[in-house]
Amino acid sequence: MNSAVSDRLAAAYPDLSPQLRQAGNHLVAHPIDVLTRSLRQVAGDARVSPATLSRLARILGFSDYAALRDAMREDLRRSVTPHFTARAETLRSGHTGRSSDFLARHAEASRANITALVSALDGDRLDRVAERLSRARKTVLIGGLGSSGAMDYMGYMVSFLGDTWRVAGRAGMSYASELAELTEEDAVLVLTKVPSARNSVHAARIAADRGAFTAVVTDSHTCPALAFASDSFLLPCEGPGFFTSYVPSIFFLEALMAALVRIAGPEALDRIAEVERINRALNDVVDPSG
């Protein structure tokens, strides 16, 4: 947790009222919510009044709640995982010459990430986001740099459900053309990892400005796209490689896809069957029987 806020909170804690302590405990325990949700929403989650959070900010030496939030964002930014070059050098310097050692560490890290994700993931929240994405007039999938492949995979999966899903920047379509006509009837799903793709962050901002439901999936509290999120999911993605792992990202997207299928109406199931039928008619797939 952010040292500037937590250190000040620790120093002031003995003199705080029970309500202010409750507010402070919530800030420390839920930094992602502080950075991505409104003052009123955070106060509601903490079960205190917005005025209590503002008073706590001033007690801790900040001019207002916004300044406290900025301090949390800055300290979290400093804690971002080292960039790829440093991670690659760490991997290289620790190389033992045996791939089996790395495979074992990678497998253990992947298991730990998925276990942590499943433990922290609120199934009801996942269902609510899936429902919001599914009933949108148009849902745009956005993933730049390393996340582009994962979103292509998501785009392939959801294409079985209907024709309201788009992968931005694919098939000759620019980001701008996909975002230009977004309204509050639409939705955007952004997958980005720190350091975030600039286009993904800007796309999240544009979507939010236009009133579209904007879901952000990322691996760090410091992701700038979170400032524009209607809802968000933070994935544990650490691993022994020079690049943070996409295993939890794929796991999450497949879980989201399962939620979408569960809530799909009969017409979506009919479409899945029709897509399968046409795939076979076009000889796009080969069954095990040949």
pLDDT 10s digits, 34-73: 877 889 999 998 999 999 999 999 999 999 999 998 888 7
If asked whether residues 74 and 104 sit together in one domain, one would say no
Among the candidates 51, 78, 105, a domain finishes at 78
Q: Are residues 39 and 63 in the same domain?
A: yes
Domain contains 289: no
* 83 within some domain: no
Same domain for 142 and 262: yes
Q: What pLDDT score does 1 carry?
A: 42
Residue where a domain terminates, one of 45, 78, 111: 78
pLDDT over threshold 90, residue 74 = no
CATH number, domain of 66, equals 1.10.10.10
290 located within any domain: no
Rounded Cα–Cα distance for residues 32 and 21 (Å): 19
Q: Is the same domain home to 70 and 160?
A: no
Count how many domains the chain has. Answer: 2
Single residue among 78, 100, 123 that ends a domain in this structure: 78
Whether residues 273 and 134 share a domain: the answer is yes
Q: Closest by alpha carbon to 145, among 249, 238, 230, 228?
A: 249
Task: Pick the closest to residue 81 from 250, 252, 240, 217 (CA basis).
Answer: 240
Residue ranges making up the domain that contains 47: 3-78
Average pLDDT (204-220) is 92
**With a threshold of 0.75, does the pTM exceed it?**
no
Structure tokens belonging to residue 258: 């399962």
Q: Which of 43-57, 69-83, 250-264 has the lowest mean pLDDT?
A: 69-83
Q: Which residue has the higher pLDDT, 19 or 122?
A: 19
Residue 199, φ and ψ in degrees, nearest 5: -60, -35
Same domain, 188 and 254: yes
Residue 286 falls inside a structural domain: no
